[in-house]
Structure 1
């Protein structure tokens, strides 16, 4: 895309807060990740009829755009949905969908609860909060490999096909660290000793996709762990309780996020240098959320004078509107109106409004390096 055209598009999107569809050279999108990217796989795994604990399958999830739950952990669309729309693609179907449909234009392998590290790591170390399903990043890559015969007829054909695709490795790492935190017997420093392992798994997956033929891979960092209302409610004592003056977020957890993101960005830069024919972009999930919280009125969110910028839109009360006994989706739990005034939807995940702004920042800048639309 020519620089001047990109600049004009960026100004338009900022002024009107729109994700617009523009022509692209991509022919498909393939996505991996956890609940920040999952468009329905977790609910399919559980089965809709047996999801008393999968609250994303219940109202008011999906209320803003879809008007009903779709398996997305939000009131509406996710960042990956806005990316697909902006590039002119239909919303990515979950890979586990049993309906008769073609995945030629793309598919989403992300699953809520997924980790970068193997599930066996958590089971072997006695971490009880790990997902009951084997859905780690390497497993998702296995699903991708199994789908290849339906997408392309030979290794050479696959190389050519994937060279024209956009690959997105969505947020991964949050669940790795959350599972360790929920054990209650690990300090943040101890958890931080595993950052290099988590980052290594993400980079290995990125390199695997490049070896499969990918020429464009977008890899997401993690959000500020200390800013999630759920984490603020649950982990203040465990993390020392020190809050950042500018955001009100838990300082120690945010330092963990920063360490993860810094290591990931450096590792991706090295990987990009080793593969000059591919473009590996780092998508910043940390900076936009901090921006929203430090200047909420500028972005259309509730102000921070009463702490509302750190409150979940949908929850059961308390200072952060988060209660484990009254989670969003449980009977009697409702959402505050309007959801677009909030950054956090349910105490962990984001509202559609926040997802839209993040996606726009990944598409045109300043939250991706390089932005998705900067080159093809």
Structure 2
């Protein structure tokens, strides 16, 4: 979707008007169950990786979490994520990570893991796309954790069907890491593009699996424009001028890859809607709003260079040093993260996530908006 000033102003108008919609007109949501990667992880990676990476989990170090939580909490941001704002809107507590101990999951659980993939771990092993940082936390693994949790939530198939029918499921963002690993280990964009249909197929199968469990409302996010990530821009600092989008300054090929994913995902959701007309399947858009952040940053209060990371130690226009990441000793954050789109070069600030959450809940960057889909 091509962004325009009119479209950004439409977003602001929708946000203003929709805030007047009383939550009482929305179906009560008993719990939220979230899957995905670092865009939704509320602490699972920190638990899963600690025996392997120990003190080098930089996202578990300051200044992560400083804005809202006043310290690291397993989230890859300075504060709350989109899933946190959605839970708050539903009157629910922040979702505890499934791998945490002594937590109650009666109001929801988060299965997302930073670095998670849609495709199974075996695919990456077979194709030599592995590194110590890749942990087996694929979508299939996350769904198996959900299956493990079920007996504590409901006792019979009928009870589960009724219980999950009153829950909201958020399936992603997922798929972005699949492409990132392929490209990191030397695959071309063209080679990687060939696997988009396989990633979409895995997501579609996961949607059907949740529907078969009784889910009646599922949020299915697309991927974001990875070509606009400061970390990717820093990696490709020596690319020719033709490699960049003239309007945004983002890397064309990477954005084309993620646009292809989103187009195919939306088409698959359309097919699933025909198959399951009783289920609210909600496509949510990271991509378009992120592009609008870059084209019209002043509309959103992002007064700093929109392609610059808040937390970094780089002597370049992206504030990225490939050997000194946010969370490492000596790497500091900017004074006011709310004026930046990017937090650490790979993830967004709480301020950006707040706008994204509002646009998913009320429109126009969701089809349909979540609150509209949940209305009686």
TM-score, length-scaled by structure 2 = 0.91
1:91-140 CA distances to partner (integer Å, 9 max, x unpaired)? Answer: 000001112x3211100000001000001101110013474421000110
Q: Which residue of 2 aligns with 1:4?
A: none
User: Is 1:80 equivalent to 2:77 in the alignment?
Assistant: no
Q: 1:328-367 maps to which residues of 2 (within 5 A)? A: 328-367=326-365
Segments of 5+ residues of structure 2 without an aligned counterpart are 1-10
Cα distance in 2 for partners of 1:312, 1:20 equals 35
Aligned 8 A contact 1:188 1:239 in 2 = no
Give the superposition deviation at 1:13.
8.2
Worse-superposed segment, 254-263 or 231-240: 231-240
Aligned 8 A contact 2:15 2:362 in 1 = no
Cα distance in 1 for partners of 2:353, 2:20 equals 11
Indicate the RMSD between aligned Cα atoms, in angstroms.
2.2
Cα distance in 2 for partners of 1:325, 1:173 equals 25
Cα 1:333/1:368, change in 2 over 3 Å: same
User: Is 1:34 equivalent to 2:37 in the alignment?
Assistant: yes
Cα 1:130/1:16, change in 2 over 3 Å: farther
User: Is 1:97 equivalent to 2:100 in the alignment?
Assistant: yes
Cα distance in 2 for partners of 1:195, 1:353 equals 30
Cα distance in 1 for partners of 2:43, 2:143 equals 17
Q: Which residue of 2 aligns with 1:280?
A: 281
User: Is 1:173 equivalent to 2:165 in the alignment?
Assistant: no
Give the superposition deviation at 1:52.
2.6
Aligned 8 A contact 2:230 2:318 in 1 = yes
Aligned 8 A contact 1:21 1:85 in 2 = no
Cα distance in 2 for partners of 1:71, 1:30 equals 17
Q: Which residue of 2 aligns with 1:149?
A: 151
Give the superposition deviation at 1:50.
5.5
Q: Which residue of 2 aligns with 1:207?
A: 208
Cα distance in 2 for partners of 1:18, 1:358 equals 14
Segments of 5+ residues of structure 1 without an aligned counterpart are 1-9
1:274-297 CA distances to partner (integer Å, 9 max, x unpaired)? Answer: 001111010101001000000001
Q: Which residue of 1 aligns with 2:369?
A: 371
Cα distance in 2 for partners of 1:234, 1:335 equals 20
Cα distance in 2 for partners of 1:323, 1:42 equals 23
Cα distance in 2 for partners of 1:75, 1:358 equals 15
Cα 1:233/1:19, change in 2 over 3 Å: farther
Q: Which residue of 1 aligns with 2:194?
A: 193
User: Is 1:302 equivalent to 2:303 in the alignment?
Assistant: yes
Worse-superposed segment, 125-134 or 257-266: 125-134
Q: 1:213-252 maps to which residues of 2 (within 5 A)? A: 213-235=214-236, 242-252=243-253
Q: How many residues align?
A: 361
Cα 1:299/1:140, change in 2 over 3 Å: same
Q: Which residue of 1 aligns with 2:60?
A: 57
1:128-179 CA distances to partner (integer Å, 9 max, x unpaired)? Answer: 3474421000110000001110000111110110000000012111110110
Give the superposition deviation at 1:267.
0.2
